[in-house]
Structure formats: C-alpha cells, structure tokens
Amino acid sequence: MDTATFNKRIKRVVITEEEIRAKIKEVGKQLSKEYDGKPLLVVSILKGAFVFMADMTRELSVPHEIDFMIASSYYEGTVSSGVVNIKLDLAHTDISNFHVLILEDIVDTGRTLKDVVHLLKGRKPLSIKVVTLLDKPDRRLVEFNPDISLFTIPDYFVIGYGLDCGEFFRNLPYIAEYNTEI
Ligand code: IMP
C-alpha cells in the first residue's frame, strides 16, 4: 500500500492516544488492586491486542506472567461449532495455578472470545476475566459480555492501536474510523 492511499483510508480519529492512555491507567490501577497477592497470567489474543497488551501490562503494578494465543472460531452461519482454531496456543501448558486475565482488542460478534473463554475454562484456571479495549455491542451474534471494556463504540470499522485492515494500520497510535468510501 502506498502512503497516500494509507492516509486516505484514515477517515477520522475516534479515540486519541491520550484518552487511551488515561483509561488504561485507570483500569490498570483497578486490576492491580484486584490481583494483588494472586498468581496472575495475562493472556493476549494476537495479533490485534499486542499494543494493548504492551501498554496495559506496564500499568499493572503487581507481579504477573504474560502469554499469547492466536485463535479464531469456526462458525456455520450464526451457530458456533464450539471448535476454536488455535494457531498458537499458550506456552503455559498448565494454567490451573493462575488467575487468567485475557486482554482483547475488540469484541465484535463475540464468537472468538466466547470460544476462547470456554476452551480456557476447561483447563481449570483459578479464575478467568476478559478485558477488552473496545466493544461493539450492536454487532453481537452470540451471548458474550466482557468483564471490562475500556471503550464502547457503534458499528463501524476501526483501525489503529493494534487493529488492522488487511494487516495495515496496526501502527497508528490512536483508534480511527476506516474510510470505506475510496
Ligand atoms: P469477534 O469474534 O467477531 O468478536 O471478532 C473478533 C475479531 O475481529 C477481533 O479480535 C478483531 O481482530 C476483528 N475485528 C472485529 N471488528 C473489527 C474492527 O472494527 N476493526 C478491526 N478488527 C476488527
């Protein structure tokens, strides 16, 4: 993609760097209190959550380990097959001694996280919680609600801060609306 096209695709900034930073600090404090004294494993779903993961873990003042997954769900129409396609599984083979905190970039239909949570619950962690940077509740196709969402947005496609369109735009330091009109 050439730079002129790249720039034209960024329609407008929806959430600024400063707004993201402030919210992550606030939630980071809340989570640090909640997990104080508990064995914590922070898991992020790649690739979209990599920036959020990097910023959020640095706002956690309590000791914790990190791990990554690449996962997507198989669906027939709106019905989940209940099977998660794991392209990369956790490096931790045993999570039964951890409180698991999943960091996700965006909850859209809810399919991915519903299935990932189901899968990880089966591995018997001490607890499991989902924190998403963005939530698009209008798009939900399955029953799933994150425990914490930093920002709720209407139904439009967003890019930046880890989120992509065709693998580009992850590097934008803010969340922007994607311009579909060009
Ligand atoms: P879900 O399983 O439908 O909830 O979708 C989860 C994945 O779809 C997210 O982790 C994103 O990678 C992708 N996704 C959904 N909405 C957007 C968006 O507006 N921008 C970029 N990626 C999105």
Tokens, residue 40: 């914590």
| Centre of ligand 1 from the C-alpha of residue 108, in Å | 5
What was the pLDDT predicted at 169?
97
167 contact partners, CB below 8 Å, separation of at least 6? none
Residue type, 56: M
On whether the CB atoms of residues 42 and 68 are closer than 8 A, the answer is no
Indicate the domain borders of the chain. Answer: 3-178
The alpha carbon of 69 is separated from its chain's Cα centroid by a whole number of angstroms, namely: 11
In this prediction, residues 148-156 reach a mean pLDDT of 96
The structure's pTM equals: 0.94
What residue owns the CA closest to ligand 1's atom 16? 108
Quick: pLDDT tens for 60-74: 999 999 999 998 766
Fold of the domain spanning 3-178:
Rossmann fold (3.40.50)
Say if residue 82's pLDDT is above 70.
no
Whether residue 164 lies in the annotated active site: no
Band of pLDDT at residue 84, cut at 50, 70 and 90:
confident
Q: What is the DSSP letter of 163?
A: B
Phi then psi for residue 5, to 5 deg, are: -65, -45
Tell me the sheet residues that pair with 41: 65, 100
In this prediction, residues 92-112 reach a mean pLDDT of 96
What residue owns the CA closest to ligand 1's atom 5? 108
Phi then psi for residue 126, to 5 deg, are: -65, -35
Q: Which helix (H) or strand (E) holds 76?
A: strand 65-76
| Centre of ligand 1 from the C-alpha of residue 37, in Å | 33
Say if residue 162's pLDDT is above 80.
yes
